[in-house]
Structure 1
Amino acid sequence: MASAFAHVAVAFAMGKSLSSQFHTSRFWWFTMACCLLPDADVLGLMFGIPYEHMLGHRGLTHSIAFAMLLGLVVPRLAAPTIRYGTRRYWLFAMYFFLVTLSHGFLDALTDGGFGIAFFAPFDSTRYFFPWRPVSVSPIGISAFVSYEGMRVLLSELVWIGIPVVLWLIVLKVTGRTAK
């Protein structure tokens, strides 16, 4: 998997792409929750759910269907005054869908694991992207204070961090982000 740092960086850049009128603290909390929630499936390992099972790591919670479900539910939680079915609701729904889906996309760029069950629960096949430049992240914070952890962070800096910073610069230069 890509590290939590990479997932949050991408979600932050996605959020900055929206008008600053949406940038409430509640919006940011739900943005971070949606980008990290797919990895809640690692808890299944403690309950004996095998990694390769549809409910295992990188299974159902990394799927397009899961991202769609979250995208439909979260707008009302992130902005309680938003009315269902309005243009603003659908903008938020699409945003939270894409933020959640970005998790699986980043993981599909890594060089480890069994792949992502993008089409779960309808198909349990696991997929990677053909190009996988990001080193797979160790699980646990302490693993980052090692040579391997530093190698992963460097990989993410190059393949995820630099594009995110470039995107934020483009937003700033074009005046598309809050001051």
Structure 2
Amino acid sequence: MPTVFTHAIVPLAAGIALGSVRVSPRLVAAGMIAAMLPDADVLAFAAGIPYADSFGHRGASHSFAFAMLVALSGALAHRPLRTRPGVAAAWLFACCASHPLLDALTNGGLGVALWWPLSDARWFAPWRPIAVSPIGAGFFSARGLAVILSELRWIWLPCALMAVVGFATRRAVSSRT
């Protein structure tokens, strides 16, 4: 998996690219939380749930069904997010779904249960350039540094480019009016 804070970069960059008129700062923050939320399943380890179980790491919480539940909760809480229900739902679905899609691009683990509950099968993308992050204290090692460098290359830089291009495009369009 990419590191949990890297998952939050995707909605942050998209929010910057789209601007606060389209995506409120509160909705961006909720999207960042939604993008990190699937990794709360690491608590399953403490509960004795095996990694490969449907409710283990990268299981049910890494599915489109889970992203839909997060989207529904966002639609219900649209007022504090300062947006319309449909916008909150679409944004939070995309943010939450970005998590397993990024995890599927990693070079380790058991894959993601993207289609749970329809299927317990774990899935990987055909192209897996992102180094998988060690869980726990192993992150503070040479391997952890390699993961950060991999994430910078494959996630942070493209997200920064998306944010800059979106921001610059919005400024150019607004200066013409």
Helix, strand or coil for the counterpart of 1:5? Answer: helix
Cα displacement (A) at 1:78? 5.0
The 10-residue stretch of structure 1 (109-118 or 10-19) with the greater mean CA deviation from structure 2: 10-19
Cα displacement (A) at 1:29? 3.1
Helix, strand or coil for the counterpart of 1:15? Answer: helix
CA distance in 1, matches of 2:81, 2:155: 34
Match of 2:155 among 131, 135, 160: 160
Match of 1:148 among 139, 143, 163: 143
Structure 2 residues not aligned, in runs of 5+: 173-177
User: Is the contact between residue 143 and residue 149 of structure 1 (CA under 8 Å) also seen in structure 2?
Assistant: yes
Match of 1:103 among 90, 93, 99: 99
Q: Counterparts of 1:21-40 in structure 2 under 5 Å?
A: 21=21, 22-24=23-25, 26-40=26-40
CA distance in 2, matches of 1:144, 1:60: 24
Q: TM-score, normalised by structure 2?
A: 0.88
Helix, strand or coil for the counterpart of 2:132? Answer: coil
1:56 aligns with 2:56: yes
Q: TM-score, normalised by structure 1?
A: 0.87
Match of 2:90 among 72, 91, 94: 94
CA distance in 1, matches of 2:49, 2:11: 28
The structure-2 alpha-carbon separation of the partners of 1:101 and 1:47, relative to structure 1 and needing over 3 Å to count, comes to: same
CA distance in 2, matches of 1:146, 1:79: 43
Runs of 4+ in 1 over 4 A off after TM superposition: none
Helix, strand or coil for the counterpart of 2:96? Answer: helix
Helix, strand or coil for the counterpart of 2:18? Answer: coil
CA distance in 2, matches of 1:125, 1:66: 15
Cα displacement (A) at 1:146? 1.7
Aligned residues: 172
The structure-2 alpha-carbon separation of the partners of 1:168 and 1:19, relative to structure 1 and needing over 3 Å to count, comes to: closer
Identity %: 44
CA distance in 2, matches of 1:113, 1:13: 27
The structure-2 alpha-carbon separation of the partners of 1:107 and 1:176, relative to structure 1 and needing over 3 Å to count, comes to: farther
Cα displacement (A) at 1:119? 0.6
User: Is the contact between residue 27 and residue 79 of structure 1 (CA under 8 Å) also seen in structure 2?
Assistant: no
Structure 1 residues not aligned, in runs of 5+: none
**More helix per residue:** 2
User: Is the contact between residue 58 and residue 115 of structure 1 (CA under 8 Å) also seen in structure 2?
Assistant: yes
1:71 aligns with 2:71: yes
Helix, strand or coil for the counterpart of 2:113? Answer: coil
The structure-2 alpha-carbon separation of the partners of 1:53 and 1:40, relative to structure 1 and needing over 3 Å to count, comes to: same
The 10-residue stretch of structure 1 (66-75 or 152-161) with the greater mean CA deviation from structure 2: 66-75
| RMSD (Å) for aligned C-alpha atoms | 2.1
Matched AA of 1:90 = G
Cα displacement (A) at 1:74? 1.4
Helix, strand or coil for the counterpart of 1:2? Answer: coil
